[in-house]
Structure 1
Amino acid sequence: MTPPLQPEPISARRVISVCVDDFGQHEGINRAALELADRRRVSAVSCLVDGPTWPTGARALQARTDSVEVGLHLNFTEDFGQGGCHALAGLIARAYGRQLDRVRIRTAVERQFDRFEQAMGQLPDFVDGHQHVHQLPVIRDQLIAVMDQRYGAAARPWVRSTLPADGCPPSTAFKAWLIGRLGANSLRALADRHRYPQSNHLVGVYGFDLSEADYLTKMKAWLACARDGDVLMCHPSLPWPGGDGLQDARNREYRALAGEAFSALLESTRLEIGPLRGRGGKEGNRCQP
């Protein structure tokens, strides 16, 4: 049995993944992710491979695979013209009602892996889900089945856990708890049976309704409660003229992550940003089965 990634005491050295979600959705997100990666402010980039700017973004990411982990942001809710997408609430209801067509779900998962591999020339370093869909019933089963076909016993990807961390901001605790309740424990058990390592917890959950100052305040709390092997998700973007309902929040996140206050927070909380896959020894074999 593969154990989950084990947290270390809060006083010990902690390495977390700071992951930019939604790469490939538009050029503002791509440019923000690449710039933050070059500045070592993030350590992972999760990719929407059906997004309109994925092909050009993938070429830029290929030059950065030594400095960031690149993963598949499995998508069933964002319609980029490929069909088969659902509103999130309807997808959750159909997943828990076991009404999703397993063949169609598997075909969609395989297609997204194909697009990632064709563009990057490699398998993903990790897998998660846009709006956390990778943990839902039926989808998680087909995801693991597809990965079993594509990965050997070694060098398996890590899978993002949505379990909330203890001690995080009370104002965001309910949303974090709710996300975790939608399948975190079942995904962990399934991944464990198939020997896929996982991150420990997920931090960075909020309602996209904070000012830049308030986001930094929450960031301080997230970093304080983060443990070794956790993921801090973020959604930064540089200004972009197209339609994006989260554009203002994305811009605020970018400014916060690019600023000196974020560097100071990392130093004050004794955190390091780094990869979760393939780390050996007591320093955290966090993602090696």
Structure 2
Amino acid sequence: MPTVCFCADDFAMNPQIDQAIFQLIERGSLQATSCMTQSPLWANEALKLKQYATTIDIGLHLNLTHVFDAQTFSYPLAQLMLRAWSHQLDKTLIRKSIQQQWDHFVEVLGQQPHFVDGHQHVHQFPVIREILIDFLKEQRFKGWIRSLSHTVNIAPYQFKSQLLQMLGAKRLTRLCQEANFAQNEQFAGIYDFSITHYPNLCQQWFSHAEHQLLIMCHPSIGIPDTPDSIYNARIQEYNYLTSEQFFHDCTNNNIKLGRIGGYNV
């Protein structure tokens, strides 16, 4: 029986996302969530999230592209990619941002993250991944790091899956192996965020599940006050994950919902 972990990204990005995540945790649909600790919502929302630290994996969603305020260190995604692959990133500033986001997490939750990943997968980019791994070694990190090395490729999203995989997944996996950091074995949740039949996508991902399949999701209960280009997709994900069909689909595909790890952090 394969284990599947649904991880909701973007905790603390906006209230609608946070409300969806809390409801889905209570319902048993989520086994992990990944947090944006630079958000002005973080401190208050994290205090509510803290009660679930023994039942789900709570991770750090490393952010270098989303702007929360004038103090946020970030680049537009295309510019960050150009700077990363041309090795023009300021290593001191990257390290400082990682440290600050980590400290915000630990200060409120009183523990290290169960795992680390990246908003728009920036944690696997050149320069950033090396700085991150060195930082985590210094922290004696005991959790896991999101891997895209073995993505579940389904039509018509094979190209996007392969592209994301090519953006540093294999190199990050080698660095994790050298540092003895655990990772998820499979990864899914990649599509174009258009209005599609999300339950069908999940059933296809389920059919490819072998062991420790991490499915990235982005649920929300409604339209936020701030711009969000994928809010329609967020709502359809939430609707499915709150439905009885979701649990029927898990049962029918012999899926066990469970955490990736992080129990001893």
**Percent of aligned pairs with the same residue?**
34
Tell me by how many angstroms 1:207 deviates. 0.7
Q: 1:149-193: per-residue Cα shift (whole Å, max 9, x none)?
A: 1126xxx11000012435x42211111110010000000001111
* Equivalent runs, 1:1-289 vs 2, <5 Å: 13-81=1-69, 82-151=71-140, 156-166=142-152, 168-211=153-196, 214-243=197-226, 244-277=228-261
Q: Is contact 2:115–2:262 with CA below 8 Å preserved after alignment?
A: no
> What is the aligned residue count?
263
Q: Is contact 2:148–2:186 with CA below 8 Å preserved after alignment?
A: yes
Give the secondary-structure state (helix, strand or coil) at the position aligned to 2:100: helix
Q: Is contact 2:5–2:212 with CA below 8 Å preserved after alignment?
A: yes
Tell me by how many angstroms 1:278 deviates. 5.3
Give the secondary-structure state (helix, strand or coil) at the position aligned to 1:110: helix
Q: 1:235 to 1:36 in 2, by over 3 A?
A: same
d(CA) in 1 for partners of 2:230, 2:40: 17
Q: Is contact 2:186–2:211 with CA below 8 Å preserved after alignment?
A: no
Give the secondary-structure state (helix, strand or coil) at the position aligned to 2:33: strand
Tell me by how many angstroms 1:84 deviates. 2.2
Letter of the 1:222 partner, please give it.
W
d(CA) in 1 for partners of 2:154, 2:167: 20
Partner of 1:5: none
Tell me by how many angstroms 1:39 deviates. 0.7
d(CA) in 2 for partners of 1:108, 1:209: 32
Structure 1's unaligned 5+ residue stretches are 1-12, 280-286
Q: Is contact 2:21–2:219 with CA below 8 Å preserved after alignment?
A: yes
Q: Is contact 1:165–1:226 with CA below 8 Å preserved after alignment?
A: no
Greater shift, 57-66 or 184-193, is seen at: 57-66
Letter of the 1:203 partner, please give it.
A
Partner of 1:7: none
Give the secondary-structure state (helix, strand or coil) at the position aligned to 1:52: coil
Give the secondary-structure state (helix, strand or coil) at the position aligned to 2:105: helix
Q: 1:241 to 1:195 in 2, by over 3 A?
A: closer
d(CA) in 2 for partners of 1:101, 1:161: 24
Q: Is contact 1:203–1:226 with CA below 8 Å preserved after alignment?
A: no
d(CA) in 2 for partners of 1:76, 1:239: 25
Tell me by how many angstroms 1:201 deviates. 2.0
d(CA) in 2 for partners of 1:179, 1:253: 21
**With structure 2 as the length reference, what TM-score do the two structures score?**
0.95
Give the secondary-structure state (helix, strand or coil) at the position aligned to 2:156: helix
Letter of the 1:102 partner, please give it.
K
Partner of 1:284: none
Q: 1:218-241: per-residue Cα shift (whole Å, max 9, x none)?
A: 111011112211210000001144
Give the secondary-structure state (helix, strand or coil) at the position aligned to 1:128: strand
Which aligned runs of 4 or more in structure 1 are off by greater than 3 angstroms? none
Letter of the 2:137 partner, please give it.
D
